[in-house]
Amino acid sequence: MDTEEKLELLKRKPVEEVVTEEELREIVQKDEPVGYIGYAPTGKMHIGHFTTVRKIADFLKAGFKFKILIADIHAELDVEKTPRELLEARTEWYTEAIKGMIEAAGADLDKVEIVRGSDYQHDKEYQRGYMHLMENATVTRAERASSEVVRHDDSMKASGILYPFMQIMDCVALGADVAYAGVDQRRIYMLGRETLPKIGEEKVTCVFSELLPGLGGGKMSSSVKGSKVGVTDDPEAVKEKIEDAYCPAGDLEDNIVLQYVENLLFPLLEDRDEEFLIERPEKYGGDLSYRNYGELEEDFLSGELHPQDLKKALGNKLAKILEPVRKRFEGRDLTEKAYS
Amino acid sequence: MDTEEKLELLKRKPVEEVVTEEELREIVQKDEPVGYIGYAPTGKMHIGHFTTVRKIADFLKAGFKFKILIADIHAELDVEKTPRELLEARTEWYTEAIKGMIEAAGADLDKVEIVRGSDYQHDKEYQRGYMHLMENATVTRAERASSEVVRHDDSMKASGILYPFMQIMDCVALGADVAYAGVDQRRIYMLGRETLPKIGEEKVTCVFSELLPGLGGGKMSSSVKGSKVGVTDDPEAVKEKIEDAYCPAGDLEDNIVLQYVENLLFPLLEDRDEEFLIERPEKYGGDLSYRNYGELEEDFLSGELHPQDLKKALGNKLAKILEPVRKRFEGRDLTEKAYS
C-alpha cells in the first residue's frame, strides 16, 4: 500500500477530520507508527463504540501498531458514571468487548495492545508530566477543553480539570504518533497540541471520528439507557432495536440507520469484499444488492429501497457480525458483575 | 503541663485562629499527636517565616511530634516563582534555614522531622487521594480555596486547581492531627475539612498564624524583593533593615516593628526566661527592661519608649538570635546555588 492509499484508508468513514493531513502523511511513511484510542470503562459499549473500534482495522492495514487504552483511572475520576466498586469488573467487561469487536472487524488481535490506565498513570514521570502541562494552560482553557466530556457548569468538579491533562499525557506515555478519538474529544487533543511542545514533547497528530447518535436519536451516550444496540446484545435484541430505529422513507435527515450503514456496515463489508444483500419477496421487486453506500443511498432516496427492508437486512447482518463479541461473554458472568 | 496550659501555649502569638478549639483540646490529650507545617521552597526565608517556625517550639513543648514539609512539588507547580533548575538547591537552602531557625527558637531539632514532598507525593495512594478529593469539590470552590496562594484571575493556571488538593492530602499522608499554617492558607484547609470526610478521612484540626507584613509595609511575601530581614542576613544587614522599618512614635497602627516585638521577640524571650533590655544613655533616662509585650506597648504609647531606641535594641537582639541560622550557611555556597 503506498502513502496515498494509506491516507485514503485512514480518512475513510467514520473519520471526519485529520489534524493535520501533512503530519499524517509523514507518519504513515514511518516504520511502524503508533496509534492509540482510549475508552473510559463507564456504560456498556454499543455499536457507536464498535464504529470507532472497527476503524482500528484500517490503522493496522496502514502499517500502524495500535494501542487501546482502557482508561480506568479516568473512569474513577468520573465517579457519577462508574461506582468505584464496579471499576474492576467494568474494565474486564471493556477488555473482552473490545477484543470481540477487533475480531468482528476482521483484524488481528495480536497486533493490538490493550493497556490499562492504571498500568502507568500512577508513575512519577506521568504525574510530573500532567503537572507541567497544567502549568501551561489556564483553568478557563482546561474547562473548555473538557466541556464536551465532563459536566461543564457551576457544578463542574475539580477532577474535570485534571482529566484533559491526563489524557494529553497518555499520548506521551503510550508513545503515540496519532491519537484517534471521537470528535467529542477534539478540544482536549487540541489543547494537547498547544501544550505538549511547551513541556518539550512532540505534539500528537489527531484523527477524529464522527460521533454516531443513539438509535433513538440524539447523541449516543453509553451512560444513558435507550434503544442503543449493545455489542453483546443477543441477535433478536439487535434486530428489534434496529427495526425500531428512526429511518424515514426517502429522507436522509437525521436518518440514523443510514448513518450506520455508511459508517459501520459498508467499511466492514468492503474489508470482507462482500456485497450488502437485501432480501425481498419477488412480488416487491426481489433481492437487492449493493457494493457501496452511494448506490444504496440513491435507491433509498428514490423510494426503490424501503426502510423496512433496509432495517431488516441491517439487523440480520449486524447480529451476525457481532457474534465474536457475544461468544466472549457466553457462559460468563462479566455483565452481571459489571452492570448489576 | 496540663491540658489547659498546653492549649494556652498553642494559642500564643502569632496564632490568630484555631479550628476548632474543642478538637485541639482532645488532640493535646493524645499520646504524641502530630502537627505539621509546609513551606514551598520559593523565595528566601525571612523573619516572617521565622515567626511561624518559632511556634513549632510551642508544639513540641505541648507534647507534639512535628513534621515540617518542604513542599518541593508544590514549588514545581508554581514555576513562575521557582525555576525548575533551582528547585533542588532551594530545597536544600530551605532545609538548612529551617534547621537553623529551630535551633534559634531553642527547640530540639531531633524532635522535628523534615520531609520533602517528593518523598511521598508521587506515591499511588497519595495521587488517588487527591484525585478523589477533586471529585468532591467544584472548580469554583477550588479556585476560591487557592486564591490567596496562587494567582487568581483569568490567567490562573490549571495547576492552581491541583495545588490545594495536594496540600489537603499532605495532612493525610503525614498523619497530621493538626495543620499549622499562615492564615493565607485558611481557605485551603477549610476545603480540606469539608472534603476529607467525603473520602473517608478524618478532618484535620487547624491552627492559623497571623501573617506578618514585610518591614517595608504590606503583606510580607518571600517572592518580592524588599527590606525584609532575611534569616541568613549578616548582623549589620539585620540591624540596618530594622532601623529603616516603619515605626511611628506613639502609634500602633501598621507598626510593623511592634508586631515583630509582640509575635516573634517576646515569645522567644519568654522561652529563654529573659527580659528585653533596651540600652539607653543615662541622659535620656537610662536602660529600660520589659518582661512582657504589654508593658512595652504601654511605654511606647506614652512616649516613654522612643522608636529609635526600640529599633536599635530589636535589631541587636534579632541579629544575635539568628546566629544559628547564619552559622549553617557560613563557608557554604547554598545561597549562591539557590538564588543567583
Three-state SS for A175? coil
Are B309 and B243 in a shared domain?
yes
Band of residue A219 on the pLDDT scale cut at 50, 70, 90: very low
Minimum mean pLDDT range among A114-118, A246-250, B275-279: A246-250
Q: Which residue of B has its CA nearest to A124?
A: B122
Q: What is the ipTM of this complex?
A: 0.88
**pLDDT given at position B82:** 83
Are A119 and A242 in a shared domain?
no
The packing angle between helices B159-173 and A124-135, to 10°, is 140
Per-position b or e across A194-222, b if 16+ CB within 10 A of its CB: bbbeebebebbbbbbbbbbbbbbeeebbb
Which of A131, A156, A159 lies closest to B77 in CB terms?
A131
Distance from the Cα of B287 to chain A's closest Cα (Å) equals 56
Band of residue A170 on the pLDDT scale cut at 50, 70, 90: very high
Band of residue B83 on the pLDDT scale cut at 50, 70, 90: confident
- Whichever domain contains A313, its CATH number is 1.10.240.10
Contact B161 A158 (CB under 8 A): yes
Helix, strand, coil proportions of chain A in percent (round to 5)?
A: 55, 15, 35
**pLDDT given at position B12:** 95
Are A127 and A247 in a shared domain?
no
Distance CA A10, CA A7 (A): 5
**pLDDT given at position B91:** 97
**pLDDT given at position A331:** 95
Are B28 and B174 in a shared domain?
yes
Are A144 and A15 in a shared domain?
yes
Distance CA B90, CA B60 (A): 26
Q: Which residue has the cell 497530621?
A: B176
**pLDDT given at position A149:** 76
Q: Pick from B81, B161, B166, B194 the residue to mutate for testing the A interface (most A CBs within 10 Å).
A: B161
Confirm whether B266 is domain-assigned.
yes
Is residue A220 over pLDDT 60? no
Minimum mean pLDDT range among A85-89, A210-214, B38-42: A210-214
CB pairs under 8 A between A and B: 93
Contact A135 B122 (CB under 8 A): no
Are B178 and B246 in a shared domain?
no
Per-position b or e across A80-89, b if 16+ CB within 10 A of its CB: ebbeeebbeb
Contact B159 A134 (CB under 8 A): yes
* Among the listed residues B34, B54, B7, B11, the one whose alpha carbon sits nearest the alpha carbon of residue B208: B11
Q: What is the mean pLDDT of chain B?
A: 92
**pLDDT given at position B79:** 67
How much is the pTM?
0.90
Are B192 and B283 in a shared domain?
no
- Whichever domain contains B201, its CATH number is 3.40.50.620
Confirm whether B330 is domain-assigned.
no
Contact residues on chain B for A158, CB-CB shorter than 8 A: 133-135, 137-139, 141-142, 161, 165
Confirm whether A11 is domain-assigned.
yes
**pLDDT given at position A314:** 97
Contact residues on chain A for B122, CB-CB shorter than 8 A: 124, 127-128
Whether the bond between A213 and the residue before it is cis, its omega within 30 degrees of 0, is: no
Confirm whether B229 is domain-assigned.
no
Are A158 and A33 in a shared domain?
yes
Are A142 and A274 in a shared domain?
no
Is residue A155 over pLDDT 90? no
Confirm whether A230 is domain-assigned.
no
Q: Pick from A139, A143, A146 the residue to mutate for testing the B interface (most B CBs within 10 Å).
A: A139
Structural domain total, chain B: 2
Please give the residue range of the domain that contains residue A266: 235-321
Band of residue A216 on the pLDDT scale cut at 50, 70, 90: low
Contact A135 B127 (CB under 8 A): no
Are A197 and A249 in a shared domain?
no
Which of B78, B137, B158 lies closest to A138 in CB terms?
B158
Confirm whether A220 is domain-assigned.
no
Instruction: Give the side-chain half-sphere CA count within 13 A for B62.
Output: 28
Are B162 and B68 in a shared domain?
yes
Are B115 and B55 in a shared domain?
yes
Per-residue model confidence as pLDDT tens digits over B190-226: 999 999 999 999 999 999 999 887 675 544 444 333 4
Confirm whether B217 is domain-assigned.
no
Confirm whether B315 is domain-assigned.
yes
Residue B175 CB neighbours (<10 A): 11
